[in-house]
Structure 1
Amino acid sequence: MMTRRLGSNGPEVGALGLGCMSFGGMYGPTDKAESFATLKKALDLGVSHLDTAIIYGAGLSEALIGEFIRDNANSFTIASKCGIVPQPTRHFSNKRAYIREALEGSLKRLGVDHIPLYYLHRRDHEVPVEDAIGFMAELVAEGKIGGIGLSEISPATLERASTVHPIMAVQNEYSLWTRLPDLGLVQACARLGTAFVAFSPVGRGVFADQAPDPSAMADDDFRKTNPRFMGDNYVRNNARIERFRAYARDHGWNTSALAVAWTLAQGDHIIPIPGTRSPGHLEELAQAVDIRLGASELAEIETLLPVGFAHGTRYTDAQLVGTELYC
C-alpha cells in the first residue's frame, strides 16, 4: 500500500487507516474474534494506522487492540484520544492532571509504554489551548507519546496550538457530504505540516453499494437520530447518492472505495480512517488506494454530488456540543 506521513516529521503509515470505534460496540455488540480478524486483515493489506479512543466502549477498543498487538508487536502506528469524560455527567477536560491520568490508562489498556499519536478528543474552553498543548508537550518530552493531535477543531485553534508545539494531526469528519474542512482546515493543515485525518469518509455507511435502512438500525445507533438519516432528508439524500453508486458500478468500483478515493484525492496530507470491524468490508475499502481519480473524474463526481448537496445537518444540536464551527 502507498504511504503517507503523519505530520511533516511523523511516521509514515498506510494511506488508508482504520477507525476502531466499532470495536467498542458503538454500532452494536462487539465480537472479539471478528475484531481480531479485521486487525489481521489490516496487517495483510498494509493498513498500518489504527485510530481508537478512551471513550470507544469505555476503553474496550483500546483493550482489544492491546490484546491483539501482544502477539504482533510493532505492527501498527496507534493513535488514541482523551478529553471526553462521560462520568458523572458528560463533559470535556484538557487539564494537566486529567490528560496524564487518561494517558496512563490508555498505555495500560494498550499494553505499551509509548503511543505514537495522542489526541485531545475535544477542546475544553476552560483551558487555553496553548496551556493544553503545553501539557501534551510534556508527555512528548517524556517519551510517552510521539506526537500531539487535535480533533473537531477550527483552523484558528490549530494556528494557536502550533505556536506552542508542532501538531502531528488534526482529525475531523470529512467526506463527500461533509465538506466544512474545505473552508480553511484542510488548507491550514497543509500549511502547518499537519496531517489531516478524515473520519467517516464513507458517511457513516451511506456511501455503500447498498443503501443503509434506517428502520433496521438499532435504537441506540447514532444514525437513528442523525438529521441526514431521518425522514424526507434521507429520501432525498439517498436518491442523489444512488447516482453516485451507479457511477461507481459503471467504472467497476465499489461505492465505499470510491468515496474514500475521493477523500484521498483532496490532498497528499489527508489520511482517511473509515471504521469497520468486518475483514471483508476492510478489503473493499482498501481498494480505494488503487483508484486514481483525475481531474475529469473529480469533476464528474462533483456534478453528481456537488458541495453542499446533503439535506440535513451532520449533527443535531446536542451532537454538535464540543465541536468547533468556524463558518
Structure 2
Amino acid sequence: MEYRTLGKTGYDISSIGFGAWAIGGTWGEVNDAQSLGALHRALDLGVNFFDTADVYGDGHSERLLRRLRQERQEPFLIATKAGRRLDPHVAGGYNRENLRAFVERSLDNLGAETLDLLQLHCPPSEVYGQDEVFGVLDDFVREGLLRAYGVSVETVSEALTAIRHPGVATVQMIFNAFRLKPAEDFFAAAREADVGIIARVPLASGLLTGKLRRETSFAPDDHRAFNRHGEAFDRGETFSGVEYETGLEAAQQLQELVPPGMTLAGFALRWILMFPEVSCAIPGARTPQQAESNAAAADLPPLDEAQMQAVQDVYDRLIRAQVHPLW
C-alpha cells in the first residue's frame, strides 16, 4: 500500500481508501456481516482511511465503522460528512446550531470524542462563499470537536471558492476517467493551497469496472436505478453524470487499453493515482473480495504516457461534451 499526505491535515493516508456509502444504503440490499468483512479486509491490506456520512443509511455506515474500531486495535482515520440531513436542504440551515447537532450525532454514531475530518456534504453552492459557516467549523476545531475539516463538492467552481477559506484542508470531488475537469481546472490551485484531494466515485458507479451491461438491472433502492437524471440528488453522483449507454461504450474502449493481468477497475484506479495532487481514491466495497481488488490497485505499476493519452482521447471523443460544462 502507498501512503500520501492529506493536504494540510498532515495525515498520512492510504492512496486507496474505503468509500462507505454502499454499506450504508442506496446501493441495493446491504449485508452487515459482509460489510464488516470488507472493512476488516481493507484494514488488513493497509487501508487506513474510511469515508462515510451521517446520511449513509441514516447513520448505519458510521455505526459499522464504530464496530470496526471496537474490534480492531490498529489506528485508522474516519472522515464523515454533515449537512444533507437538512430538510429542506438550504443554505440557511448551515448554521451553528444545526452543524453542532450533526457533529454530536456523528460523534455518538462513531463512538468518538473528536472527528478526524468533517466535510460539508455538497451544500448549496452559496455556502462555500459564506465566511460565517467556516468560522463555525474553526470554532469546532478549537473546541476539540474536530481535528480538521473540508468540503465535498459537485463542481470545480465550488471547490475553487471553498479553498479561499484557509481552514479548508480537503476537497472531496468526483474524479475519474470520465471526469477530467478537476485535473485541468482545479488541481494546480489545490496544490498551491496545500489542500488534499479525495477522489470519490472513482469507478463511475460501476461503469469503470467493465462489469455492467445494457441488460444489467439495479434494485429499486439503488441510486443507479432512480437517480440517473438527478431525481433524488445531483445527477453527477450517478455514473459521474454520463449517459449510461455512452458510459458503456467508453468503458469498452478503455478495456482495450488494459494490460494483461490487470482489470479495468484496477486500471481506472491506477489512472487516478497517477495524479500526485490526489491524496486518496475512495472506491466502495461491500465484500472482502471487492476490498482486496480495490487495495491491489495501489501496488500496480504506473501507467505510461501513451496509456494516459489514450484515456484522454476516449474522454475527449465520447465524454467531454456531456459532462465538462456541467461540473
2:47 equivalent to 1:47: yes
Corresponding residue of 2:234: none
SS in 1 for 2:316: coil
Corresponding residue of 2:250: 240
Cα distance change of structure 1 residues 27 and 118 upon mapping to structure 2, 3 Å threshold: same
Higher relative contact order (CA 8 A, sep 6+): 2
Cα distance change of structure 1 residues 63 and 308 upon mapping to structure 2, 3 Å threshold: farther
Distance 1:200 1:154 in 2: 14
Corresponding residue of 1:283: 292
2:125–2:158 contact (8 Å) kept in structure 1: no
Cα distance change of structure 1 residues 41 and 217 upon mapping to structure 2, 3 Å threshold: same
Distance 1:165 1:2 in 2: 28
Cα distance, 1:56 vs structure 2: 0.6
Cα distance, 1:83 vs structure 2: 1.1
Cα distance, 1:272 vs structure 2: 0.8
Distance 1:156 1:247 in 2: 32
1:202–1:259 contact (8 Å) kept in structure 2: yes
Unaligned runs of 5+ in 2: 230-237
SS in 2 for 1:247: coil
1:173–1:199 contact (8 Å) kept in structure 2: yes
Distance 1:110 1:83 in 2: 17
1:17–1:274 contact (8 Å) kept in structure 2: yes
Unaligned runs of 5+ in 1: 316-324
Cα distance, 1:131 vs structure 2: 1.1
Corresponding residue of 2:26: 26
**Structure 1 length as normaliser, TM-score?**
0.86
**Structure 2 length as normaliser, TM-score?**
0.86
Aligned length: 313
Write the mapping of 1:1-327 to structure 2, written as runs, cut at 5 A: 1-73=1-73, 75-87=75-87, 89-91=88-90, 93-124=93-124, 128-152=129-153, 154=155, 157-158=158-159, 160-213=161-214, 215-224=216-225, 225-226=227-228, 233-248=243-258, 250-291=259-300, 292-303=302-313, 305-307=314-316, 309-310=318-319, 313=322
Letter in 1 for 2:271: W
Distance 2:269 2:307 in 1: 14
Deviations 1:10-69 (A, max 9, x none): 210111111000111221121111111011111111111000001111111101111221
Cα distance change of structure 1 residues 102 and 212 upon mapping to structure 2, 3 Å threshold: farther
Deviations 1:144-191 (A, max 9, x none): 211111111555555554454332210111111122323422222111
Question: What RMSD in Å do the two structures reach over aligned CA positions?
Answer: 2.6
Distance 2:317 2:101 in 1: 41
Letter in 2 for 1:254: T
Deviations 1:208-264 (A, max 9, x none): 1422456411123212241587xx94334312321222332x432011111011111
Cα distance change of structure 1 residues 158 and 312 upon mapping to structure 2, 3 Å threshold: closer
Deviations 1:116-141 (A, max 9, x none): 11001123456552111110011111
Corresponding residue of 2:232: none
Cα distance, 1:293 vs structure 2: 1.3
Cα distance change of structure 1 residues 236 and 104 upon mapping to structure 2, 3 Å threshold: closer
1:263–1:270 contact (8 Å) kept in structure 2: no
Distance 2:111 2:270 in 1: 33
Cα distance, 1:268 vs structure 2: 3.9
Deviations 1:278-315 (A, max 9, x none): 21112112221122112232123333x23362388569
